[in-house]
Amino acid sequence: MASLSRALRVATICSRRDLGPRALTSRAGPTTEKSVPYQRTLKEAQSPTSVAQGPSRPLPSTANVVVIGGGSLGCQTLYHLAKLGVSGAVLLEREKLTSGTTWHTAGLLWQLRPSDVEVELLAHTRRVVSHDLEEETGLHTGWIQNGGLFIASNRQRLDEYKRLMSLGKAYGVESHVLSPAETKALYPLMNVDDLYGTLYVPQDGTMDPAGTCTALSRAAAARGAQVIENCPVSGIRVRTDDFGVRRVAAVETEHGSIQTPCVVNCAGVWAGAVGRMAGVKVPLVAMHHAYVVTERIEGIQNMPNVRDHDASVYLRLQGDALSVGGYETNPIFWEEVSDKFAFGLFDLDWDVFGPHIEGAVHRVPVLEKTGVKSTVCGPESFTPDHKPLMGEAPELRGFYLGCGFNSAGMMLGGGCGRELAHWIVHGRPEKDMYSYDIRRFHPRLTDQRRWIRERSHESYAKNYSVVFPHDEPLAGRNMRTDPLHEELLARGCVFQERQGWERPGWFTPQGTAPIKKECLACRGAAAVFNMSYFGKFYLVGLDARKAADWLFSADVNRPPGSTVYTCMLNHRGGTESDLTVSRLAPSSQASALAPAFEGDGYYLAVGGAVAQHNWAHISTVLQDQKLRCQLIDGSADLGMISIQGPASRAILQEVLDADLSNEAFPFSTHKLVRAAGHLVRAMRLSFVGELGWELHAPRPACVPVYQAVMTAGAKHGLVNAGYRAIDSLSIEKGYRHWHADLRPDDSPLEAGLAFTCKLKSAVPFLGRAALEKQRADGLRRRLLCLTVDEKVPMFGLEAIWRDGQVVGHIRRADFGFAIDKTIAYGYIRDPSGGPVSLDFVRSGEYALERMGVTYPARAHLKSPFDPDNKRVKGIY
């Protein structure tokens, strides 16, 4: 057998002999003659194909749910559907369970990731494979708890691991930061000469794909589910209901059809093909992903699995050998995905894989003289933002996705399978799954194959990169720009990207981001924010008032000209969105600022990064309630310019043809006015806690209106500012950010937004029953504002200590320049399990743990900045 070092030398020689350019894509079909460590699966793979033999059991004529794909996600979803009591659930697998991708996965499970939601999902997977399945079925899943070791060869990486350690304390995940000497004692074969330290998680481990999927299918079958192998799906039958809504009707195969209202696409690399059968876009790409298995290594037994992120390599314990793999910067795309692929593998491209060998040999020198037992190179699916694709497709009701897991389908499978089952049965998952929800992507992005490919490539290459708080993608930029983009670019704007939109991050001709300057200018004079990327929708029609009553937690049925800040909830009382809703007067004439409509009308302004999520949520509710109204998207036709600060009234009084006094233009109202000769909708609102107005202008008017504002503001000290400043200003004032302080598993009561809920009225609204129960039972957690006097940067995920116990973690943190303190928000619980009362909040002594160091913190029941809300009223 060739050693790893010799294999690398041979690969280098071969690449030098290849005088032509190396293709970065593979068009050749996969091979099957490989030696891989999963002998049971190989035995099945080497037998004649069984698809021609027909399904492993007869197809039922109907099913409540049909899961397509028998890999990790398909089996986990079926299992959790069965546990929720779904009868008649069926899984269709075109070959054998685990075929395609799952069978050759490394099966690693690391408990700590820089996401609180993912830590919870991983914990559930671990519980299922290490305990639940064996208890239910008597079958061993192949779970081995040998621990995990993250390697830090630079200071930034060690800081990242310390952040993970602090987060782990909030979830009871044991972890330890080890010195190089302690690491050497734990893993004697490791080279620690260049280490800053390591993070050791004793209860990490590995699972066997075949054993896990077998146990899952056995447990699901015991609860009445069916697994049918050797049954490829050939089509998805769709019907259109009386309201014009497309819905799943049946799944078609060569052996018959199954009538069903619900399909779950867990087809992995082949999910795109299944999606096309139903007219659903699935934004993922297929790439080669590889590892090699070594010969026996003396002394490696019982060692923990290793991730050396800076070398982009992992080392998985494989009995008395190691599996060595990683993520390269130049991955190979699988351009022509074959529907005949089952248990095959690709030839390993040593030229691409070479850097992983170098990293592995450097970290564990004994590998230089260790033989290669086998190579494993198979397909994996990857997505543009390196997050899975889950939830109900916006194009087709009853069609769910559970795919695109970026080589993490085994370790996330348990948690995601459970959430997907809840999504199907209850209409929403239990956890906050927005980052995974397919509805996060705008159709303009999912239509762009080049964008999907470029962003997926970048996400793959950065899989092991340090997660910096303000990192921005480089690939797939300028997909969606607003009318002020070029104007602001010329003024030194540095842009951020959110779901394809380019939005202002900060303004600087050179040097570092001047966040402090922008924030203090807003507090002392005025700042102009381009918020044109916001979603702007119209809800109009005969049933629009019924829709508004049901959709919005606040009472938005006030006279035309009023604007209300409100939430939209799910049936669990969780917050699907926070937004402003402006009441419109009916008109028979359409304009650039409003459509023609009869009945009632509302203008909705929502955060641009989550606009598609809002659109999908509203559309789903309207369909479910069978309401006769229109939802119209005006996002691309309108810009949004916000002028905020003590001087905003004086500036805008020179630009607008309206009286801006408190009496004539109160807070939370809107009206049509002229600005620089253009008709705009002015709203007196603030997202930063200052006197200010938003100008919603037709696209052609945006540049002249903006220029007029800048000219008028020159003598008042007006500055351009971006979203980095908004982040700081808003947290300083205590305003919530959706999907940070406020998520689909957080209620407005827990988040301190009870004032947005019309609970004193008798009007029913979505989520009301859940809120009333929560109020009666007492809040089991509460969002808390904390400030730290010591000037240390915090970004979220820090542990919250109260009286010597961890009671939660930080969701969002930033520096408040007006109060000159670090400000953090996080949800806290009572360790005893009781309600979190205001007395509980007041009585404790708090500290925040950042990278293993605790800092005294002060709790606030009101915003630490302008707690009496004088500034938004113009009182300075």
Angstrom distance (rounded) from CA 114 to CA 797? 8
User: Which of 70, 158, 145 is CA-nearest to residue 110?
Assistant: 145
Alpha-carbon distance of 407 to 654, in angstroms, equals: 57
The DSSP symbol for 556 reads -
Strands 89-92 and 226-228: parallel
Helix (H, G, I), strand (E, B) or coil at 349: coil
The CA distance from 537 to 863, in Å, is: 31
* Residue showing tokens 């037992």: 373
pLDDT tens-digit map of 547-570: 999 999 999 999 999 999 999 999
pLDDT at 8: 59
Biggest CA–CA distance in the chain, Å, is 86
pLDDT of residue 4: 65
Give the residues of the chain that fall short of pLDDT 50. 11-51
CA neighbor of 369 nearest in space, from 297, 299, 291, 315: 297
DSSP letters along 477-543, please? -SSB--TTHHHHHHTTEEEEEETTEEEEEEE-SSSS--HHHHHHHHHHSEEEEE-TTSEEEEEEETT
Separation CA 406–CA 388 (nearest Å): 7
Q: What does the DSSP 8-state code read for residue 554? A: S
What DSSP line would sit under 649-709, residue for residue? HHHHHTTBSS--STTTS-TTBEEEEEETTEEEEEE---SSSSSEEEEEEEGGGHHHHHHHH
CA distance 68 to 81: 14
Residue-level pLDDT at 24:
26
Q: Which residues of 831-854 are buried (b: 16+ CB within 10 A; e: fewer)?
A: eeeeebeeebbeebebbbbbbeee
Nearest to 249 by CA among 240, 241, 239: 239
pLDDT of residue 469: 87
Q: Are 618 and 597 in contact (CB under 8 A)?
A: no
**pLDDT recorded at residue 467:** 87
Extract the tokens encoding 819.
Answer: 């109060």
Using DSSP's 3-state secondary structure scheme, residue 256 falls into strand
Distance CA(445)–CA(435), nearest Å, equals: 16
**Whole-number pLDDT of residue 455:** 97
Q: Which of 338, 341, 95 is nearest to 228 (CA)?
A: 95
Q: Name the residue among 122, 169, 177, 111 with its Cα closest to residue 799.
A: 169
Quote the pLDDT of residue 509: 65
- Number of neighbours of residue 714 by Cβ within 10 angstroms: 10
**Using one digit for the tens of pLDDT, what is the confidence trace for 782-806?**
999 999 999 999 999 999 999 999 9
375 phi, psi to nearest 5 deg: -120, 140
pTM over 0.75: yes
